Amino acid sequence: MERTERLPDAAATEALGARLAARLAPGTTLWLRGELGAGKTTLVRGFLRARGHRGAVKSPTYTLVESYPLADGTTVHHLDLYRLGDPGELEWLGLRDLLTADSICLIEWPERGAGWLPPPDLVVRLEMEDDARCAYITTPENTPSPPTDTRVG
């Protein structure tokens, strides 16, 4: 199923991230698709703030992954695979170790990890719409039992 949401400004993108944060259970993976500047990192910032992270949220463009241990015992791993040379590098990153039962993975540019990433539990595609953005939220059909409610309104 797909749900569409219009995001008039960056605050709306953060608010969508916050609502997803309230619904994504530990052990799940969210893919964030969309062009450079579409608002993927902005959504992650809203997600992390809503889960109690107080510090900065910077794009892991060069580090590929930034991990945020949270007060509730879960860890959020924020990946940005834009600069991944080869999907095989994910092995070197130890990606499999990141996907544990008490962590949540938020992955920008998942298409760069094609064939190496496990299937997502939820996909958000952000598209530019003049000065605003539009979010397309999908629960992939290959997910046997969706761990989350896609009604994020």
Chain residues that interact with ligand ADP, rule: CB under 6 A: 7, 9-10, 12-13, 34, 36-42, 108, 131-133
Q: Which stretch binds Mg ion (CB under 5 A): 39-47, 65-73, 94-102, 127-135?
A: 39-47
Q: Which is nearer to ligand ADP, 50 or 132 (CB)?
A: 132
Question: How many CA within 13 A on the CB side of residue 72?
Answer: 15
Q: Considering the rule CB under 5 A, would residue 63 count as an interface residue with Mg ion?
A: no
Residues 141 and 66: their CA atoms lie apart, in Å, by: 29
Picked from Mg ion, ligand ADP, none, the partner binding residue 28 (CB below 5 to 8 A depending on kind) is none
The site for Mg ion, by CB under 5 A, has a size of 3
The CB-of-137 to ligand ADP minimum distance in angstroms stands at 14
Which DSSP symbol is given to 61?
Answer: T
**Sign of the dihedral defined by the CA atoms of residues 21, 27, 28, 32, in that order:** positive
Rounded CA separation 25/102 (Å): 9
Cβ atoms of 124 and 33 closer than 8 Å? yes
Q: Does 67 bind Mg ion (CB under 5 A)?
A: no
Among 15, 23, 59, 147, binds Mg ion (CB under 5 A): 59
Residue 40 interacts with Mg ion (CB under 5 A)? yes
Provide the minimum distance between the beta carbon of 40 and Mg ion in the complex, in angstroms, as a whole number: 5
Residue 92: CB partners within 8 Å, gap ≥ 6? Answer: none
